[in-house]
Amino acid sequence: MADSADHPIDFTRTPHPAPVSDTIRAQAIADPGFGKVFTDHMVTIEWDEDHGWHGATLGPRQPLSLDPACAVLHYAQEIFEGLKAYRLADGAMGLFRPHENARRFNASADRLAMPNLPEQTFVEAIRQLVLVDSGWFPPVQGGSLYIRPFMIATEAFLGVRPAKQYKFLVILSAAGNYFKSGAPAVSIWVSQDYTRAAPGGTGAAKCGGNYAASLVPHANAVARGMDQVCFLDAAEHRWVEELGGMNLFFVFDDGSLVTPPLTGTILPGITRDSLLTIAGEEGLTVREERYAFDQWRADAQSGLLTEAFACGTAAVVTPIGKVASHDGEFTVGSGGPGQTTQRLRDKLVSIQRGTTEDRHGWVMRLD
């Protein structure tokens, strides 16, 4: 049955016949790192032109069988999302603004010529999967279940046109802290050789191709001893855009903030959007305006810029310490977490963990 708002899709549930034993699972989630420890189950839903979305299953996590000619393997028709299930203060699990991920998923689908998935189906698939695999929630400080919904073009056809068959999947991964060191601040290499996204390109979409293209610049940053790469705009190589997987904020000595505007070349982060609201409520002024790399250096050196931080689902809010490029390096503020960064991080985390009032209805409890 095709899905619609009136006819919510039904999931066929097939429990894993041989789930991982309690002992092995406990070992795996004791120190899960990021993106390596996967749970027992997954969701799959098929799409084709005749049936729309159909065949929804919540079953054992297992390898896919794909025709070698299927479109995703050749033309990268693929999109994904990333969000977390958190443990709330009262012990229940919660999702943070999952409908925003559903909306962004459909915006990415539009850009990649893929079918839209009803928001309710996206969220319900996640809800059911997280509940079924809740035993994988890591019992560690800052632990979460990282949720990875994605869609691939499965039609076996080598012509370059939108495919006529797709598969939507959701998998889960037990997650500790994203940054291995749990470092108080990250160091940034500003790439003047590579760009991430050009006007009219796919920068605002969460498609695999964007991330494939960021691997070499990221590796260059790491080779120089830095944690992350920062991209500048593709037209002038001047304006600061974002990191490989995080948005950016700058904090000035008058207490105001700047974040690059959503002009189509950066990902509209849900953390970014949440922080815009939280900062406003905290009485802080945030300007969504372009910020030049030269200005960043000058402001850091003059002391006008007191803090900078990166934000995203995986990294939450992470201060930026050292910044380097071919032109040399500089440090932002004290090189560690600043007051405003810490205040915004604490506020966001307290909403996500249910220890403060959720006045926007951002948290969806999973009971």
Q: x-or-dash pattern for ligand PLP, window 233-272, by CB under 6 A?
A: ---------x--xxx-------------------x-xxxx
Q: Considering only residues 82, 118, 143, 260, which one is a binding residue for ligand PLP as defined by CB under 6 A? A: 82
Among residues 130 and 267, whose Cβ is nearest to ligand PLP? 267
Q: Shortest approach of ligand PLP to residue 112 CB, angstroms?
A: 15
- Alpha carbons 71 and 166: distance in angstroms, whole number: 9
CB of 275 vs ligand PLP, minimal distance in Å = 9
Q: Where are the alpha helices (DSSP H) in the chain?
A: 22-30, 71-75, 98-111, 119-132, 208-213, 215-223, 270-281, 293-302, 339-352
- Give 16 or 148: the residue with its C-beta nearer to ligand PLP: 148
Site string for ligand PLP, 294-333 (x = CB under 6 A): ------------------xx--------------------
In the complex, minimum distance from the CB of residue 358 to ligand PLP, in angstroms, rounded to a whole number: 18
Q: Shortest distance, CB of residue 54 to ligand PLP, whole angstroms?
A: 29
Q: What is the closest distance, in whole angstroms, from the C-beta atom of residue 165 to ligand PLP in the complex? A: 27
Question: What is the sign of the dihedral through the CA atoms of 352, 313, 230 and 285?
Answer: negative
- Site size toward ligand PLP (CB under 6 A) is 12
CB-based burial of residue 30 (10 Å sphere; 0-12 exposed, 13-18 middle, 19+ buried)? middle
Number of Cβ atoms within 10 Å of the Cβ of 300:
20
For residue 131 the two structure tokens come to 């509940």
Choice between 87 and 272, CB closer to ligand PLP: 272
d(CA 201, CA 177): 32
Residues 6+ positions from 12 with CB-CB distance below 8 Å: 55, 56, 57, 58, 59
Q: Which is nearer to ligand PLP, 40 or 241 (CB)?
A: 241
Task: Tell me the two tokens of residue 199.
Answer: 């006007």
- CB 170 → ligand PLP: shortest distance, Å? 16
Residue 209: strand, helix, or coil: helix
Mark 125-144 with x for binding to ligand PLP (rule: CB under 6 A) and - for no binding. Answer: --------------------
What does the buried/exposed string (b/e) look like for 132-166 if buried means 16 or more CB atoms within 10 Å of the residue's CB?
A: bbbebbbeeeebbbbbbbbbbbbbebeeeeebebb
Residue whose CB is less far from ligand PLP, 70 or 344: 344
Closest contact distance (angstroms) between CB of 172 and ligand PLP is 16
Q: Which amino acid is at 344?
A: L
Q: Does 145 bind ligand PLP (CB under 6 A)?
A: no
**For ligand PLP, the closer CB: 59 or 312:** 312
CA distances in angstroms from 234 to 73, 124, 140, 193, 266, listed in the order given: 27, 38, 41, 10, 11
Q: Could you give phi then psi for residue 158, rounded to 5 degrees?
A: -95, 0
Within 215-234, the residues that bind ligand PLP by CB under 6 A are none
Q: How far is the CB of 25 from ligand PLP (least distance, A)?
A: 27
Q: How far is the CB of 12 from ligand PLP (least distance, A)?
A: 30
**Binding residues vs ligand PLP (CB under 6 A):** 82, 242, 245-247, 267, 269-272, 312-313
